[in-house]
Chain A
């Protein structure tokens, strides 16, 4: 919300979670863009050092709980009405998928688009999320379903599932 009309975003940290024979991608932490991010109206480049710190800090915290989490994607904001990945976003996603320095345990990344805007007749601005998935096997993005859980509830489920 603070970014206003400018683009913003951050990384997603989480893991794969199997529940009742169904597979989920659990996001435990969504970072901000970092202080040195380049945020403009049409483009956004995050502060990579701040994102690395966010990843390492979250990794260490969950390691202490016995849960292995990693980088699983990035979110960023688009202007209202553009609730899909742009061609530039898809190219950036492909570059991440082809980089061996990204561990990507399940071979894919989540790329949610956030939009901010008010519905007609309302002054209240609302954030909406449109998550997409790209993988090394399927480079074309596909839309994902999403559910929001309370932090404590998700942590409890992850600890119980003993994901290492």
Chain B
């Protein structure tokens, strides 16, 4: 008779142990809150379902258009920059040929920093990222005005 092959020991599964950036460095969280409260007092902090911290709020462009955004701190913050998602209106910055995103990633978050530029460093706060986002919306509106032909300012093809 064939004997059941029951393992004698526990069968271990892949695990991941991690600490969120704000648990590792609570002072940084205070700094982030202070900077956002000072520079963008209408923004509110949230905890997303997956535990990540985020800010939501609305920016207004020079053309008086309003953009509601969600800024999400990655688990790797501050080694990686926060991601900014346009919420309302939803934005799909697709080039004229319809195949390529213009300074936007396929999941919708904006391309604000090109890693090779090293513009973002570990001391950069969410408040700075929101300010860069405002500049992104200015460039986006100029690009729309140019019939999606010209993005103002320096850019890297990617």
Contact = CB atoms under 8 A, between A and B. Distances in A.
Contact of B17 (A48, A51, A74, A102): A74
Q: Is the interface of B mostly helix, strand, loop or mixed?
A: loop
Contacts of B17: 7, 9, 43-45, 74, 76, 86, 88-89, 92
A70 B12 CA distance: 11
B31 interface: no
Interface size, A (range): 35 or more
B155 interface: no
Contact of A89 (B8, B14, B19): B19
A59 interface: yes
A101 B23 CA distance: 30
A141 to B, nearest CB: 13
A45 B15 contact: yes
The 7 lowest CB-CB distance pairs between A and B, nearest first, are A86-B19, A43-B18, A101-B11, A71-B10, A88-B18, A45-B16, A76-B17
Interface of B: 8-21, 23-24, 51, 75-76, 79
Interface of A: 7, 9, 11, 38, 41-46, 48, 51-52, 55-56, 59, 70-71, 74, 76, 78-79, 82, 86-89, 92, 95-96, 99, 101-104
